Amino acid sequence: MRPLVMTIIEQLIRIVRERQRRGMRFAELSPHNLAVLGMRRPPVAPARASTPAPAQNYTSILTQDFTANKPAPAPTQGSAVIEAPAPVVYPPPPDVSSADWDTICHACLACQCCDLCATRHSVVIEDGCRTAPLMFIGEGPGADEDAQGVPFVGRAGQLLTRMIGAMGRDRACTDPAKAVYIANIVKCRPPGNRNPLPEEGNACIGYLRRQIALVNPKVIVLLGNVALKFLTGRSGIMSARGKWIEVCGIPTMPTFHPSYVIRFERDAKQFHDTKLLVWQDLQQVMKKLSEIQ
């Protein structure tokens, strides 16, 4: 039996001569040639792609925009393309800077200048005497106020009524010596009794400023942070309460909103202490009114 080495050499010589005859100078030791020499089986050649994919590094893969050239899926048969609704464009608030009472009330009732017009039941404009020397301003109507069309008639309103009575005044009185006038930043109830949004307050603030000008009170009481913010641009009722400021040139006392006070009803001490702070602020208001009148 011939040695295996001789057999391999002879086959190698045959391969080299065959390559020389074809004009080739080299014979590569490919898997096929090695198999011919009896050294290994030819591997199954993997299928080649028609066009080799370009090399990519990790950075290019991570930063690649896979949606840039992605075609939009074709709608299936019977499906409908749902488009996002166009944003609602509200008219600008009317100019009521010179309006009388009838005009301003009509403008409030017909107002369609913000989202609140779509969910309101009532437009809550005012309560009290239009010639009162003392004006209270809250943030907006709640559920009870929206139902009845009168500001401050719910639980917070009942507390405010008692506070007004403690000042020797009556919100149902028409005598300027005892009367008060009550209004809010917004005339329509924000859903869920949330605070008015900036666009809602800004749509309504012109009505309120005209109400202030028509009433022309000697003193204003701002109830809570929302009223403070929309009429002065300031925030922080905790630090502002008890300190005199001016709104429309009128001496103004910021204090806590009654709804803030009644949060502490189950804590007797906290409830008492918070009511005491409001009462101290109202005592300053009473003193100021006596000095002005």
Q: Is residue 230 part of a domain?
A: yes
Q: Is residue 88 part of a domain?
A: no
What total of structural domains would you count in the chain? 1
Q: Is residue 179 part of a domain?
A: yes
Q: Is residue 92 part of a domain?
A: no
Q: What is the pTM for the complete model shown?
A: 0.72
pLDDT in tens, the chain (293 residues): 455 555 666 766 776 676 666 666 655 555 555 555 555 444 555 555 445 545 444 444 444 444 445 555 665 665 566 667 777 889 999 999 999 999 999 999 999 999 999 999 999 999 999 999 999 999 999 999 999 999 999 999 999 999 999 999 999 999 988 999 999 999 999 999 999 999 999 999 999 999 999 999 999 999 999 999 999 999 999 999 999 999 999 999 999 999 999 999 999 999 999 999 999 999 999 999 999 87
Q: Is residue 39 part of a domain?
A: no
144 by DSSP, 3-state: which?
A: helix
CATH code for the domain in which residue 240 is found? 3.40.470.10
Q: Is residue 180 part of a domain?
A: yes
Domain that holds residue 207: 101-292
Residue type present at position 11: Q
Q: Is residue 42 part of a domain?
A: no
Q: Is residue 8 part of a domain?
A: no
User: Do β-strands 250-255 and 219-223 pair in parallel, antiparallel, or remain unpaired?
Assistant: parallel
